[in-house]
Structure 1
Amino acid sequence: MDKSTRKRKKATISASSDSTSPDDQDLEDISQEKNPASATITVTAVEVPELTEAEERDRLSLERKVERAFFEAGKALMELRDRRLYRSTHKTFEEYCRFRFAYTYRHVNYLIAGSVIVDNIKMGTNSSQNEKSHEMGTNSSQILPTSEVQVRPLAKLEPQQQPEAWQQAVEQAEGKVPSGRIVKDVVQQIMERTKVPNTYQIGEVCQILAKDNPELRGKGGCWGIVNHVGEFSCTIKIWDGEYTVGLQYLKSYNYLPAECEQMRVICDRINQVYSSGLEESVQKFLESLGKLNRAYLTGLEEKLLNVLESEYDEIQF
């Protein structure tokens, strides 16, 4: 009984090992086919039509709109600010820009300053090439900036230097719109070439000349105390903090040492009270003291500052 069973099992196993399953048969068929890697694939070429004259005009027009975006934004923001067209809804231009465009005040100043620099470049380039084109964009005769970042380094130069610096950057970019890095390198080279020795001294009283520098907007006419002297700039302390300012944005009052020390004391007093966060009207008064063009306070100014210092002491204790 057991032997017959074992024989039947053995026969079954033998039969199944001799047979070929459908899957094995498929593999054999595939192995006999040509290698897929060497197969030829036929691709039908699609002809790309050339742009028509109308499409070429549309492309150029759209490209110029893209290129003018930051320039037009800066121009528009400048007009909104100068005409105070925000006054019906917001107290300050800064609040308006933050609410309406989600722009920081610094970004707005960069855009406005950038548009002014582009105008300087256009005027300088057109003057040198005797051209009267007012279109902004890249063409065979004039390469102009396409972003605010490209012109930001030029703010360190005088307006009459900006067109020359831009043209040098264009040449280094082989006739294309240069990157901000290239422009920055050119500006640095010009500054080193026209380097003026830094004659300012620590403790000296200087006035800030904001000009077209967006980082100094609102600080024009303010006086400050030099507390660090660098190669191309000075760090000065004014009524609301410290700022690093290029030499071209500073003017010494040429005060005597005793007057400089007196102004240093006044600056520290104003700065301390201002940082306490008192009412806006008080801050405006302190700002006005920060723009004095004399080395002393009047009797009334001294009394008012004493009152504010008393308020500051009460807040502290």
Structure 2
Amino acid sequence: MAKPPSSRKKATSAVSSDSTLPDGLAEEENPALATINVTAVEVPELTEEEQRDRLHLERRVERAFFEAGKALTELRDRRLYRSTHKTFEEYCRDRFAHSRRQSYLLMDAAVVFDNLLEKCDPMDHILPTSERQIRPMTKLEPQEQQEVWLTAVELAGGKVPTGRIVKDVVQRIMERTQVPNTYQIGEVCQILAKDNPELRGKGGCWAIVSAVNEFSCTLRVWDGEYTIGLQHLKSFNYLPQEREQMQLISDRINRVYSDSLEETVKSLLQSLGKVNRPYLTAVEEKLLSVLESEYSNEIKV
């Protein structure tokens, strides 16, 4: 059966098969032939005032960690957390989501940064821009910190050095000043702070050596264990019997201590942790016994 013819008329092209376009329509109707005009935009140079503003804002960004460390130090020293929290550590955890280590690293970094400012004019010298660049220097003396930073900047080609570069320079200085470690496990030492920010509050404390390392010792102090460089230690040269007595006192204090204790109780334990003799007086013995009795339910097994 023949297919009926379609009633729809076949559409015909409105454009001639000749590819030549009429005059005046070539550029208007054919995008391929259109001309695009781009206007050059001149970027104005910064004015002197804008340059000063930029430098000022850059410095604020670079010193953000420094300002945080200074603020945390003031919050702790003035105990501005006392209306809501028992301890500074609990306050930092709840308010800033900081671990104890994180808060103290920032505070230690602020101390080192202050020290570098004394040596390095911020207008002429590169200064640290993060806590990680400062962290390796916290165990050094102030003059050594300044030496390390200037050397690290030089090695970085006059730019801000990475934490790795700083750490390598610190290691070289520590090896340069290497001294034999003659301490023994169980020996009783005194901690010498010597302006080391990591030892804030530990100067004068007695401690018992629990591990002997190459350039340091791990020690048991009244509020826990710390690893401290040999330059910050001095032996009491106690006799074996005196060492045993101090070990018993250390065990008793450490069983009572916890981060949740009231500040007055911590202060009392700290004072016992700074006695410079191998025994407690009668009053000190009574006070420690009272604390042991009061916190007997909290004593760690």
Counterpart of 2:250 (choices 252, 263, 267) is 267
Q: 1:170 to 1:286 in 2, by over 3 A?
A: same
Does residue 1:59 correspond to 2:54, yes or no? yes
Does residue 1:73 correspond to 2:68, yes or no? yes
Structure with more helix by fraction: 1
Q: Distance in 2 between matches of 1:73 and 1:237?
A: 30
Does residue 1:149 correspond to 2:144, yes or no? no
CA RMSD of aligned residues (A): 3.8
Counterpart of 2:106 (choices 93, 104, 111) is 111
Q: What's the TM-score, normalizing by structure 1?
A: 0.71
Does residue 1:124 correspond to 2:107, yes or no? no
Q: Distance in 1 between matches of 2:252 and 2:277?
A: 16
Shift in Å at residue 70 of structure 1? 2.3
Q: 1:55 to 1:286 in 2, by over 3 A?
A: closer
Name the structure 2 match of 1:183.
166
SS at match of 1:187: helix
Shift in Å at residue 60 of structure 1? 1.8
Q: 1:282 to 1:92 in 2, by over 3 A?
A: closer
Q: Distance in 2 between matches of 1:203 and 1:86?
A: 39
Which AA in structure 1 matches 2:106?
L
List alignment gaps of at least 5 residues for structure 1. 1-7, 16-20, 23-38, 126-132
Shift in Å at residue 109 of structure 1? 2.9
Which AA in structure 1 matches 2:164?
R
Shift in Å at residue 263 of structure 1? 0.8
Name the structure 2 match of 1:249.
232
Larger radius of gyration: 1
Q: What's the TM-score, normalizing by structure 2?
A: 0.74
Which AA in structure 2 matches 1:122?
L
Q: 1:46 to 1:258 in 2, by over 3 A?
A: farther
Q: 1:88 to 1:287 in 2, by over 3 A?
A: closer
Shift in Å at residue 216 of structure 1? 3.8
Q: Distance in 2 between matches of 1:247 and 1:107?
A: 25
Which AA in structure 2 matches 1:108?
S
Name the % identity. 61
Shift in Å at residue 186 of structure 1? 0.9
Is the 1:210–1:216 contact (alpha carbons within 8 Å) kept by the matching residues of 2?
yes
Q: 1:274 to 1:57 in 2, by over 3 A?
A: closer
Q: Distance in 2 between matches of 1:219 and 1:284?
A: 12
Which AA in structure 2 matches 1:265?
L
Counterpart of 1:159 (choices 134, 142, 155) is 142
Q: 1:59 to 1:302 in 2, by over 3 A?
A: closer
List alignment gaps of at least 5 residues for structure 2. 12-32
Structure 1, residues 58-89: CA drift from partner, whole Å, max 9, x if none?
A: 2222112212222233334444544x272784
Q: Aligned pairs, how many?
A: 277
Which AA in structure 1 matches 2:222?
W
Is the 1:124–1:160 contact (alpha carbons within 8 Å) kept by the matching residues of 2?
no
Q: 1:209 to 1:41 in 2, by over 3 A?
A: farther
SS at match of 1:295: coil
Q: Distance in 2 between matches of 1:158 and 1:199?
A: 22
Is the 1:276–1:312 contact (alpha carbons within 8 Å) kept by the matching residues of 2?
no
Shift in Å at residue 42 of structure 1? 6.7
Which AA in structure 2 matches 1:233?
S
Counterpart of 1:174 (choices 157, 181, 189) is 157
SS at match of 1:156: coil
Which AA in structure 2 matches 1:231?
E
Q: 1:60 to 1:258 in 2, by over 3 A?
A: same
Which AA in structure 1 matches 2:115?
N
SS at match of 1:236: strand
Task: Select between 295-304 and 186-195 the one with higher mean Cα deviation.
Answer: 295-304
